[in-house]
Amino acid sequence: MPWCYKFLCTGSLDLGKLDKSDVGDDQYTDLLSKVETATDTTIQVLTEEILNCGYTGLISLEKKGEIIRAIVLHANLRLFPMLLQIKDGLNLYGLCNIMAKYPDICQPLFVPGVEMTADADFIISVCQAEFSERGSNKEQVEVTLMNHLQDFLQEMEQDKTDSGMENAALPSLSPKAFLQWITGQGHVPVLQEEKRRFKVNVKFNHHCQSHFGEHSICYPSVAACSRTITFPVQHMRSYGDFKVVLVEAFHLGQELSLV
């Protein structure tokens, strides 16, 4: 819950700002729902559950607001001992200081629903291609392949990719999964300095025939440790070939075999 994260960052909390939307436990959200919809008769049935939440006043519809407030406080305050232990553990590694300094950046690591998943634009922005001599035919082909990569990532993001492979059990390919395959992580780096230094190296192999002998197909090679992908240019010149070869490489080459 956001209020839990705020407490971990600051060590303090304004209890007056807590409301029913801050309750995450199903037991108490269910009780809150029952109290809100209760009648003069049904609210008496909830007496024991309400008293267990620390409410000591008269149980009636006129006191519904006070009852809800008591349930909200009880549901959240019982988490404080656990939050204090978590905060002590984070302090051992100096993480509380980082969270206090960069609360918005660190929030996705603790609060569900705040995504920092890599998208097509992010991946393209961190790609660092090793182009051949400027103006050469090789460079022109390499630029074309980078355009293919951008189109491919955007196509995946729009859920329009047709892998051409019929096995539904194959791993799903998305920009996040693509980045995970190449680098070992599928999220945007949290810290700004880490994000600034995060790069994906893109290389181009123009001589796969001389390296591997006569062959009809070969696939991109990935070295996650160095965050590098190498495209076999000869087999990926058209966008159709690029997509087929890259998708097959992803589906059939999940093991990290290069260091």
Evaluate whether 60 touches 41 at the Cβ level (below 8 Å): no
pLDDT at 107: 83
pTM of the complete model? 0.55
What topology is assigned to 120-252 in CATH? Hect, E3 ligase catalytic fold (3.30.2410)
Above 90 in pLDDT, residue 199?
Answer: yes
Q: Work out the average pLDDT over 145-168.
A: 74
Q: 3-state DSSP: the chain helix, strand, coil percent, rounded to 5?
A: 55, 5, 35
Helix and strand tally (H, E) in the chain?
A: 14, 4
pLDDT at 196: 86
pLDDT at 123: 93
Above 90 in pLDDT, residue 150?
Answer: yes
Q: Work out the average pLDDT over 161-180.
A: 65
Above 80 in pLDDT, residue 139?
Answer: yes
pLDDT at 46: 92
Above 80 in pLDDT, residue 253?
Answer: no
Q: How many residues does the chain have?
A: 259
What is the DSSP track for 89-144?
HHHHTTHHHHHHHSHHHHGGGTSTT---B--HHHHHHHEEE---STTSHHHHHHHH
Evaluate whether 235 touches 206 at the Cβ level (below 8 Å): no
pLDDT at 258: 47
Q: Domain residues of the chain, as ranges?
A: 2-109, 120-252
**pLDDT per residue as tens digits for the range 204-247:** 999 888 878 888 888 999 998 899 999 999 999 999 999 999 99
Above 90 in pLDDT, residue 2?
Answer: no
pLDDT at 115: 58
**pLDDT per residue as tens digits for the range 96-128:** 899 998 888 788 778 776 556 788 999 999 999
pLDDT at 163: 45
pLDDT at 164: 45
CB atoms within 10 A of CB 226: 12
**pLDDT per residue as tens digits for the range 26-81:** 999 999 999 999 998 899 999 999 999 999 999 999 999 999 999 999 999 899 89
